[in-house]
Chains A and B, each alone.
Chain A
C-alpha cells in the first residue's frame, strides 16, 4: 500500500492495464499492425452511473500514467498532483480521471523496451515508428475497453495538448470538451531542432548500440541525460533561470578553473539529467520525440487546420503561458483562429507567468481559476450531476 494525502493505492492497482488489439490489430500510420499489446493506465475518482464524468488526461513527453497520488517508480507525488485530486481543480469527487501511458512509452504500455507479443523478443529498434494519432487511437481503444462512449473532457499540456487536438479532430463526437494547454497544432522548426540535438546525443552514446542495448546491463545513460538537460532548458524561461540560479556557485566560494559544475545551474541540469535516466528509456525518448516532430494536424486536412474542426460540437478551451517560448502563445492563437473560422465554441486565455513552458505543471493560480471555471461551466452546460 502506498499512501499520499489523497490516494491510497495497492501495488497491484499500479499495474492496471488492458490488452488491446486482440480482435483486430491497431494499424499504425506507418503501416505496421500491432496485435495483443498492453496499455497501462491509472484512474482516479469513480465513474458515474451515466458514465458522463470521465476526463482523459494526456501526458507529456516525459510524463506517465501516475499523475496524482504517489508514483511507485519515483516514490514522489504524481506530475499533476497539484491539479488532480479531491477538491482540486480537476476534482476527483466529481470527475472520473483516466490517464494512460502513451504508445511508445516506457511505463508498461507497448514501446521499444517491451516484448513483441509475436516474436517473444524485446522490440528495441524494431519497434515501429509511432505518431500522435497512433497514441490517440490506442487511447480510444482503451476508452472502448472501459465501455465509455463519450469523454466529458480530454485535457493535456505540451505533447498531451497535441493529443487533445488529435482527439478533437479524430473523434469529435466522443469529446464534449477539449483543453489543449501550452501546445500547438504542428511542431515548429525550433522544436524539431531541439529534439534532434537530444536524439543525436542518445545515438552518439556508444552504449546505445543501435538501440539494442537491453540484453546488456549498460544503457545509454550519458546520451539520455544530455538529451534531458537540453530539453529541460526549453521548458524554463530566461527570467526563471536567472531568478532561480543567476550566477550563483554550487557549494563553493569561488570558481575552480575547471569543468566541474561550478555554477548552480550546471549542478541543477546534471541532477535533472541523472534522475531522468533512472525512470526513462532512451529508445522511448527517440520514438516519442519523433512522433511529436511528425505532428502537423493541418497537413492531414485539405484546406488546412480549420477543416480538422469543421462542424465540431466540442467546447474548446485553449490555454497558453506568456513566457513559454517552446510552444508560444502565437501557436495557440493559430488553433483559436482555425476554430473561430468554423464558428466552433472556443475560449482562449494566455496566462501571465514567468515560469516558461513548464508553467502548466506548477502552482499557477490564474491558470487554475480559468481551468476550474471552464470545467464547471461546461459541466453545467452538459448537465453533469454535482457529485458522482
Chain B
C-alpha cells in the first residue's frame, strides 16, 4: 500500500507552506489528514511532527509514515519543550480553541516562528451578513450554522494584530486571501485586508 502524494494542496495551505524554510523542524498543530506535512516532507525535506484531534486524521497520517500524535491544541501543547521547532503551524484552528491566548503563547514558545491562519471575521461578506441580514454569517470558510460550528472564538485580522501587540508577539508577515484564494494586493494590505480578506495567514515570533 503506497500513499499517493497530494500535490493539490489547498491554496491557503500552499500559502502557509511557502513560509516554511527547507530542512527545518516543523510541528503542525491540527494537521488533519497530514496533507501539509506530507507536502513539506516531500518538497522542503522538513523533519515534521503533527498533532491531530480526530482519530481518523491521526490514523491516516501514521499510515502514511508521518509522526503524528492524537492530541488537542488546548491541552497537549504544554508538554512540548521551548524552541523545540523552527516552525509551529496552526491552520484554521485558533478560532476553535478554548483558550486562544494560551495556545498562541504556546505556539511562539515551542517554535522559533509560528504560522497562524484563521477565517477573518472582518471579511465584508461576514460584516454584510450581520449588518444587512441580521444573521450569523455563512461563507465558504465559515460554512456551519451558529449552533453546530466548532468555532467558538472568532476574531478579525485587526483583533489578531492587536492581540499580538498586547502580548509582545512580533508579526513578521501577514497575508490576506480573497475568496478566490488570490492575495489581497500589497497596497491594500494594511487597510483593505481586514475587509477584503476571507482568510488571514500570519508569520509571528516571540520578541526576545
Contacts and interface: CB of A to CB of B under 8 A. Distances in A.
* A and B interact: yes
Interface of A: 315, 317-318, 336-337, 340-343, 345-352, 366, 369-370, 372-374, 376-378, 380-381
A192 to B, nearest CB: 27
Contact of B70 (A348, A374, A381): A348
Interface in B67-87: 67-71, 76, 79-81, 84-85
Nearest to A379: B65
30 contacts: A317-B62, A336-B71, A337-B79, A340-B76, A340-B79, A340-B80, A342-B81, A343-B84, A345-B49, A347-B61, A347-B62, A347-B67, A348-B68, A348-B69, A349-B58, A349-B59, A349-B62, A350-B55, A369-B1, A372-B1, A372-B63, A373-B63, A373-B64, A374-B63, A374-B65, A376-B1, A377-B65, A377-B66, A380-B65, A381-B65
Contact of B67 (A337, A345, A366): A345
Given A346-B67, A347-B68, A349-B55, A341 B80 contact: yes
Contacts of B62: 317, 347, 349, 370, 373-374
Contact of B55 (A317, A346, A352, A372): A352
Given A373-B64, A376-B65, A377-B66, A341 B59 contact: no
B64 A377 contact: yes
B105 to A, nearest CB: 17
Contacts of A373: 1, 3, 62-65
Contacts of B63: 369-370, 372-374
Given A347-B66, A348-B68, 16 more contacts: A315-B67, A337-B76, A340-B69, A340-B79, A341-B81, A347-B67, A347-B69, A350-B70, A369-B1, A370-B63, A372-B1, A373-B3, A373-B62, A373-B63, A373-B65, A374-B62
Interface string B152-174: 00000000000000000000000
A370 B34 CA distance: 14
Nearest to B25: A343
Contacts of A337: 76, 79
A347 B55 CA distance: 12
Contacts of A380: 65
A366 B81 CA distance: 31
B150 to A, nearest CB: 20
A380 B42 CA distance: 12
A217 to B, nearest CB: 51
A58 B65 CA distance: 23
B66 to A, nearest CB: 7
